């Protein structure tokens, strides 16, 4: 469950302001939700029409999406925090420590940092109180920042523009690439692999009987590691063909690299569904009944792939940019992610 704020909105056209009025609930709890961060505003769904305004509990993301509670547990692990460069990098990410994480500018006294791998700025008053007994608002504010920071680092690694776009599979990819995949909670590992939650035992009336869970012997953590096995990519600076007068050029093929390309979002629509590896055409790199090297490919969903071939590569490039730029971006991303070993 996650907390959200249900409020009434009033518009002031003269000042171009929108006033949010949560008339019920604990004001401090409301501040802990907002916490001076960017917030998402959207119309309340029909099932909340009869609710009183104020702080409410909302279900987390549905199964198959990112489980933020499990992701937070993962980021909170000491080994993961060290990989993320904490505490120094976490401090830098938060910026100047000039506001208390609880009440912002309303707190009196100087600002200091809490202890631990994930320090947050806090006023002296709340820091002393927190040392005596944990302050729920401070713990919640710190958790939100830890989760946002962790997902932001993963987003940067996989080339996403926003942390909210990071998928469970990409989080698992980051974990495997940094050698901390063994710390992934089982729920995240299963979700990354597209597997359902492990079945439970059931009471048949004649005692407990195992379901097919006992036949599930797969190591989900090991399978996550196998998702990012690097491609064997060797370089021969002096191949024998280089010394031939008229060497016969061969086509470089790699099913492993094509698999990587198909795992990327379509360069046109951004979808991850039914993505295909399109080989570069035109620009003097292809001919009748021939294909370019598998290295010169880009991810395209089936519809856009067919559209490119149907309308011609020149027209497609006028609408979506040069294939060469997309190929270069794909290779650059693969190299940066360690695909080539």
Query: pLDDT tens digits, residue range 69-96?
Result: 899 999 999 999 999 999 899 988 888 7
Higher pLDDT, 61 or 282: 282
**CA–CA dist 171, 129 (Å, integer):** 35
Mean predicted confidence (pLDDT) in 290-302: 88
133 and 49 in a single domain? The answer is no
Token duo for residue 240: 């024998």
Check: CB of residue 143 under 8 Å from CB of residue 120: no
Residue 16 reports pLDDT greater than 90? no
Rounded to two decimals, the pTM is: 0.51
> Considering its fold, how many domains does the chain have in total?
3
- Please list the helix, strand and coil fractions of the chain in percent, rounded to the nearest 5, in that order: 40, 15, 45
Whether residue 263 is contained in a domain is answered as: yes
* 85 shares a domain with 31: no
Instruction: Decide if 12 contacts 50 (C-beta within 8 A).
Output: no
Lowest mean pLDDT segment, chosen from 12-21, 148-157, 306-315:
12-21
15, 113: one domain: no
Strand partners, 5: 55
Residue 299's pLDDT band (boundaries 50, 70, 90)? very high
- From 278, 273, 179, 194, select the one nearest 228 (Cα to Cα): 179
Alpha-carbon span 32 to 52, nearest angstrom: 19
Domain-terminating residue out of 140, 163, 188 = 188
168-188 burial: b if 16+ Cβ within 10 Å, else e: bbbbbbbbbbbebbebbbebb
User: Given this model, what pLDDT does residue 60 score?
Assistant: 47
What is the domain range of residue 144? 68-188
Q: Which one-letter DSSP state was computed for residue 104?
A: B
Q: What is the pLDDT of residues 156-168, one digit of tens each?
A: 888 787 888 888 8
**Is the model's pLDDT at 61 over the cut of 60?**
no
125/14 Cα distance (integer angstroms):
40
158 in the same domain as 78: yes
Could you tell me if residue 175 is inside a domain? yes
- Mean pLDDT on 4-31: 71
Residue 110 confidence (pLDDT) above 60: yes
Mean pLDDT of the chain: 77
Picking from 58, 77, 101, the residue at the C-terminal end of a domain is 58
Residue 127 has pLDDT above 60, yes or no: yes
Q: What is the mean pLDDT of residues 206-233?
A: 53
Shared-domain flag, residues 92 and 130: yes
């Amino acid at each position: 469950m996650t907390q959200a704020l249900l409020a009434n909105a009033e518009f002031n056209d003269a000042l171009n302001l929108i006033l949010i009025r949560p008339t019920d609930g604990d004001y401090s709890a409301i501040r802990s939700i907002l916490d001076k961060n960017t917030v998402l505003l959207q119309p309340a769904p029909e099932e909340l029409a009869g609710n009183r305004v104020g702080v409410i509990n909302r279900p987390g993301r549905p199964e198959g999406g990112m489980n933020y509670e499990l992701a937070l547990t993962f980021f909170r692990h000491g080994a993961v925090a060290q990989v993320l460069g904490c505490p120094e990098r976490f401090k830098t990410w938060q910026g100047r420590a000039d506001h208390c994480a609880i009440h912002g500018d309303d707190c009196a006294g100087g600002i200091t940092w809490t202890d631990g791998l994930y320090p947050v700025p806090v006023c002296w008053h709340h820091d002393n109180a927190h040392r005596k007994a944990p302050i729920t608002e401070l713990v919640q504010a710190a958790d939100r920042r830890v989760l946002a920071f962790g997902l932001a680092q993963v987003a940067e690694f996989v080339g996403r523009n926003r942390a909210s776009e990071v998928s469970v599979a990409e989080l698992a990819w980051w974990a495997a690439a940094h050698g901390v995949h063994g710390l992934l909670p089982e729920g995240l590992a299963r979700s990354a692999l597209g597997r359902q939650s492990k079945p439970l035992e059931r009471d048949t009336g004649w005692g407990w009987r195992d379901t097919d869970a006992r036949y599930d012997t797969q190591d989900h953590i090991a399978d996550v590691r196998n998702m990012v096995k690097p491609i064997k990519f060797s370089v021969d600076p002096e191949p024998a063909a280089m010394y031939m007068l008229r060497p016969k050029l061969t086509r470089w093929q790699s099913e492993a690299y094509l698999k990587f390309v198909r795992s990327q979002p379509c360069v046109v629509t951004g979808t991850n569904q039914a993505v295909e590896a399109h080989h570069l055409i035109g620009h003097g790199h292809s001919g009748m009944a021939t294909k370019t090297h598998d290295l010169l490919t880009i991810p395209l969903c089936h519809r856009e792939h067919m559209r490119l071939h149907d309308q011609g590569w020149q027209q497609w490039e006028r609408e979506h940019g040069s294939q060469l730029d997309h190929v270069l971006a794909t290779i650059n991303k693969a190299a940066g992610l360690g695909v080539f070993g």
